[in-house]
Amino acid sequence: MGRDIALRRADQKTVHPLPLSKVPTWRAYISLFDKEKVLNTKKVAGHSEEWAEVPHQEQVLLGQDLDHRVIKLSNGQNFYDQAGRFDRVIDYFDHQVLLDDQGFHPSKNVQSIRLVRSVDPAGQKTSWQDFAIYNRPFTVYYHGEMTLNNGETIPLRPTQLTVFQENLDQQSPLDSQRRAAFATIKKQGEYLFSLIQHLKPKLLDQVTADYGQKIQTVVSDANQKLDQGQTTTEIQLVQKDHLDQLMVIQNQATQNQPLAPALLNTNRDLAYQQLDQEALSTKVGINNAQRLNQEQKRALLAKVGAVAQTGKNEIGLAPDVPAVRRVLLRNVEALRAIFVSQDSKEDARLTLVQAGQKRNRNLLRLFMLTNKVYTNKKKG
């Protein structure tokens, strides 16, 4: 097995190796976990993507799965000063915990472990200053190596963690602009990587992986540079510079490649993901609705499944990107028409109230302005 195998369960023996590189195979993986057991709030039971990696492990960090953990630290807490709190390494073959809150545990096969945490995929940015990103999320990349008892050194299976450090003292009116700029850069990076994956003829796996690392490097660098922007203009320049860097990568990757098929398939994949997310959100709302009985829930869930599947079929047949977007919009609206959760109703009500308040303020300003003009004319 290599570092590029999709790890699903510790006892799963059927795996699908991807020949991405000639890096030596791994035998242990990094599985992040809160040693203080405060942020392990996601229950293993009821989530098919999780499993008890060690005996009696009932809860884990939030996140989509093993490779997408998320933590939010309390106001004033600093990740760098307590980074070791989340370290854990597990032997894939015998399930032994090699590194945890008690430190390193030598085994009959392993004599040492080296773990690296950085805010860039290359593992170069590891200082306190590099981690000083507040009031918006950033990614911590974990990788490392282990030395076996026979003297051989092999890599650990890497992972990453999304961190949010809240610091009220560091809050700025520019925070929302920084978040919006980073979200734009990150989304463009994800779109670009998907585009590269869909190029025909297909790029070599190692080439695709290299482009992925270049994209991640640009995105992580942008997050740091945005902190240095002290004006709206500086933030906009950081955004433009990093979007330009992504465009350079795109031009390199797509040189002499037909773009139209890749663009269409990329947008199809993104549409599938958005439709799945909307369907999941609707299902959660239905399952949590206390006003519905089980029979009503089953009927509504069946409708959600039917709409989602029909939408995917239509997306797959869409002839171009505009058609994909039209199909997606129509099916998202169809899903939302099936059931509106109480939370969504409350959000909609609040939006209407805020819109009404804004309209009233605008009318009041218009009235005052009109009255002022009338008074001035009368005086004249």
Same domain, 147 and 14: yes
Instruction: Give residue-wise pLDDT tens across range 356-367.
Output: 555 555 555 555
Does some domain include residue 338? Answer: yes
- 43 in the same domain as 97: yes
The helix or strand, by DSSP H or E, that contains position 99, with its residue range, turns out to be strand 97-100
149 and 262 inside one domain: no
Q: Say what the pTM is.
A: 0.64
Is residue 365 included in any domain, yes or no? no
Same-domain check for residues 124 and 219: no
134 and 247 both lie in a single domain: no
Question: What whole-number distance in Å separates Cα of residue 163 and Cα of residue 139?
Answer: 6
pLDDT value, residue 361: 56
Element (H, E) at 33: none
Torsion of CA 224, 198, 254, 242, to 10 degrees: -10
Angle between helix axes 175-197 and 259-288 (nearest 10 degrees) is 120
If asked whether residues 286 and 152 sit together in one domain, one would say no
Compute the distance between CA of residue 20 and CA of residue 6 in angstroms, rounded to an integer. 12
Structural domain of 259: 215-342
The 3-state DSSP class for residue 146 equals strand
Do residues 167 and 221 both lie within one domain? no
Residue 160 has pLDDT above 90, yes or no: yes
Instruction: With both helix axes pointing from N to C terminus, report the angle between 175-197 and 205-228 in degrees, rounded to the nearest 10.
Output: 170
- Decide if 233 is inside a domain: yes
Paired tokens of 19? 């020949």
Token pair of 59, please? 């809860």
Does residue 90 lie within any of the structural domains? Answer: yes
pLDDT at 322: 92
Please state the rounded mean pLDDT for residues 281-300: 87
User: Is 197 a member of any domain?
Assistant: no
How far apart CA 170 and CA 173 sit, in angstroms, is: 10
277, 150: one domain: no
In the predicted model, what is the mean pLDDT of the chain?
A: 83
Same domain for 153 and 25, yes or no, is yes
Examine the domain organization and report whether 85 and 167 are in the same domain: yes
- Model pLDDT for residues 123-137, shown as the tens digit of each residue: 889 999 899 898 889
Identify the domain boundary among 111, 145, 171: 171
**Same domain? 135 vs 27:** yes
CB contact burial 35-51 (16+ within 10 A = b; e otherwise): beeebbebeeeeeeebe
| 235 exposure class (CB count in 10 Å sphere: 0-12, 13-18, 19+) | buried
25 within some domain: yes
Report the number of distinct structural domains present in the chain. 2
Cis peptide before 322 (omega within 30 of 0): no
- Using CA atoms, how far residue 181 sits from 41, 63, 226, in Å, is 30, 23, 8
Q: Within this chain, do residues 164 and 236 fall inside the same structural domain, yes or no? A: no
